[in-house]
Structure 1
Amino acid sequence: MAAVQTFYLPHYPTYPIYVCMFKDVSNADFLRSQLLEANPKFDYAFLDATMILSLPHLLSASFLALHSHVTHRSKTRTPHSELVFRLHPSNNIGESYKRFGISDSTTYLIAVKIGLGPETTAESVMEHLSENVKGEAVLIGGGGLEIGMWANEAKVRKVYKLENKDAAKKEKNGAVNGVDRAEANQRQEVESVILGMVSLKGS
């Protein structure tokens, strides 16, 4: 059974963001085909989880997608395709789907559904995804995994064109209690830059 986590954006509290995570997905090709066919029953943002660095990374793009929808300034067909588009630093929609969207080989999946009306609930999302995603649902937070735990930072850095300065930082900062300070701060620094890039794209 899919485990749905519900998030609320401060400026749009009446539009819940429903998020599910799956691992060992074996039917990504089917899910992608439903998107390509524009099947309204599969109107989700299906994301490659290895490209999502953190919850703020995901929710920043969700906010921009929802804001674009509400203000009628979307660049894509639906708020869910807009979410995928908003994750990529360029304005190339095809590249956005290629880098952040589901592919036939995706095994770590994040599914996002924006609640645009009362017919969409956590229960309806849970039921539909449980029936159609062949994979193991993973609990988010509360003793489960955090969004971003599957992120491939090297891949994310490459898409956002961020230089990997790990080696230089390690040499400069050294280690404290066996934990490298540069390594400890790296993810936070990368996330901060990426959130800024996502926000700038939406401005």
Structure 2
Amino acid sequence: MAAVRTFTLPHYSAYPVQVALFRDVKNAEYLRSQLLAANPEFDYAFLDAAMILTPTHLSAASFLALHAFLNSTHKTRTPHSELVFRLSPNNNIGESYKTFGITQSTTSLIAVKLPIKADGSIDSSISNESVSAHLGAVVEGQSVELSEGIEELGDAAEVHRIKKAYKITCAKGGKKGAKGINGDAGKKDDRSDIESVILGTIALKGS
């Protein structure tokens, strides 16, 4: 069994989202091959955790994907491909998968399961238990226990790669304090500024 956390999105409490985090993943190539083969048992948004800055970054894209399918404004074939697409600043789905999706070299993995079918109806067969059992059986990696706020989803973020993907050339640094501009406080403030740019970018794309 994998550690899976359930969270809900604003206005869509009837559609609980299941999310799991894995470190030291050994079979990313296999998982990716199942996605490419369109194996329905592997219908997830498998994301490279290095490209997710914060929990809000992920939940915003999840909201946009769910909203798109519930309102028939989606651009891709499945809710999970829509989530990957919504993370991207551009409209190229292939580039979205290349940048944010699982690759052969992915070692930190976020798996997201949306409770909605391609026709927009709710998938009542999806539960925390079913997702936990399946991911525990197919992902070869260390399952990470997520807190209620799922803050751990940003632990593997590679900020320089994320800034490059969103073409963020600079971000306001943190204020000098007890730990200095290069200390933990500065890094936290810098990440908050980057997050604001990202959220604005994906919201504008989804409008």
TM over 0.5: yes
2:57 matched residue in structure 1: 57
- 1:10 offset after TM fit, Å? 1.6
1:151 aligns with 2:157: yes
Unpaired segments ≥5 residues, structure 1: none
1:27 matched residue in structure 2: 27
Q: Aligned match of 1:188 in 180, 187, 192?
A: 192
- 1:144 offset after TM fit, Å? 8.3
2:119 matched residue in structure 1: none
Q: Distance in 1 between matches of 2:43 and 2:150?
A: 26
2:110 matched residue in structure 1: 110
2:136 matched residue in structure 1: 130
1:74-132 Cα deviation digits (max 9, x unpaired) = 11110000000000000010110000000011100000001122100000000000000
1:2-47 Cα deviation digits (max 9, x unpaired) = 1001110121111111000000101011110111011111000000
Q: Over aligned residues, Cα RMSD in angstroms?
A: 1.7
- Provide closer, same or farther for how the CA distance between residues 153 and 80 of structure 1 changes in structure 2, counting only shifts above 3 A: same
Which residue type is aligned with residue 97 of structure 1? Y
Give the aligned length: 198
Q: Distance in 2 between matches of 1:71 and 1:137?
A: 34
- Provide closer, same or farther for how the CA distance between residues 200 and 61 of structure 1 changes in structure 2, counting only shifts above 3 A: same
- Superposition pairs of residues 69-88 of structure 1, within 5 angstroms: 69-88=69-88
- Provide closer, same or farther for how the CA distance between residues 144 and 92 of structure 1 changes in structure 2, counting only shifts above 3 A: closer
1:179 matched residue in structure 2: 180
Q: Percent identity?
A: 54
Which residue type is aligned with residue 76 of structure 1? T
Q: Distance in 1 between matches of 2:58 and 2:153?
A: 8
- Provide closer, same or farther for how the CA distance between residues 143 and 13 of structure 1 changes in structure 2, counting only shifts above 3 A: closer
Contact 1:138–1:145 (8 Å) recurs in 2 = no
- Provide closer, same or farther for how the CA distance between residues 99 and 115 of structure 1 changes in structure 2, counting only shifts above 3 A: same
Unpaired segments ≥5 residues, structure 2: 117-122
Which residue type is aligned with residue 79 of structure 2? P
Q: Distance in 1 between matches of 2:60 and 2:179?
A: 34
Q: Distance in 1 between matches of 2:166 and 2:188?
A: 20
